[in-house]
Amino acid sequence: MKTVRDYIRTIPDFPHEGIMFRDVTTLFEDPRGFRICVDQLLAPYAGQRIDKVVGLEARGFILGGAVAHQIGAGFVPVRKKGKLPGKVISQDYTLEYGAATVELHEDAIKAGEVVLVVDDLLATGGTAEAGIKLIEQLGGQITGCAFVVDLPDLGGRARLHGMGMDVHVLCEFAGE
């Protein structure tokens, strides 16, 4: 029986030489693989109240939307700076190769709402940390962070655990 990991393609030297890119589009395009993925992302949170699912730009939108639909929750995107209309709150963060900013509508999450954070990949944890800070700024209560792939050598899971987050991943790939 295939696992989620079996559906993920590895592309060497993308986007830079020496990087092994873990391509989840091959997982998304397969109906069985995608169903397994969504079901497994939700499994640890079965029976819990979740008001909103927050998807991190960009593949987190695909997963987050599917997860939100499955559990009957609202979906909220955390976007790159300048992509959301209306009033937003912003959070800067660092990447392996630079800095960036993410934004969230200031009225997207109400104080006390229970939130599940979803994305495809956990590397250094910078994007997830920035999203978590935005959610907490609005008073959201984060029940967990769910990812398809963890790159444990880059330390993202430890970073999120250090923030007190419950982290759920479906598979790991050693190295970068």
Q: List the domain boundaries for the chain.
A: 47-171
CATH class of 47-171: alpha beta
Residues contacting 105, CB < 8 A, separation 6+ = 76, 84, 86, 87, 88
* 157 given a catalytic annotation: no
Whether the pTM exceeds 0.85: the reply is yes
77-94 mean pLDDT: 97
Q: What is the pLDDT of residue 22?
A: 96
Phi first, then psi: give them for residue 99, nearest 5 degrees.
-135, 160
Q: What is the pLDDT of residue 175?
A: 73
Q: What is the pLDDT of residue 176?
A: 58
Selection from 37, 46, 43, 101 nearest residue 65 by Cα: 37
**Cβ burial, residue 125 (10 Å; 0-12/13-18/19+):** buried
The predicted-structure confidence for 117-153, as pLDDT tens digits, reads as follows 999 999 999 999 999 999 999 999 999 999 999 999 9
| DSSP H or E segment with residue 73 | none
Q: Which residue is listed with tokens 């050598």?
A: 153
Q: From the candidates 22, 59, 79, 157, which is the catalytic residue?
A: 59
* 9 given a catalytic annotation: no
Q: How many CB atoms lie within 10 A of CB 53?
A: 28
CB 78 within 8 A of CB 93: no
Q: Which amino acid is at 68?
A: A
Q: From the candidates 9, 35, 49, 96, which is the catalytic residue?
A: 96
Q: Tell me the pLDDT band of 28, cut-offs 50, 70 and 90.
A: very high
Residues contacting 148, CB < 8 A, separation 6+ = 4, 8, 24, 27, 37, 41, 63, 119, 120, 121, 169, 170, 171
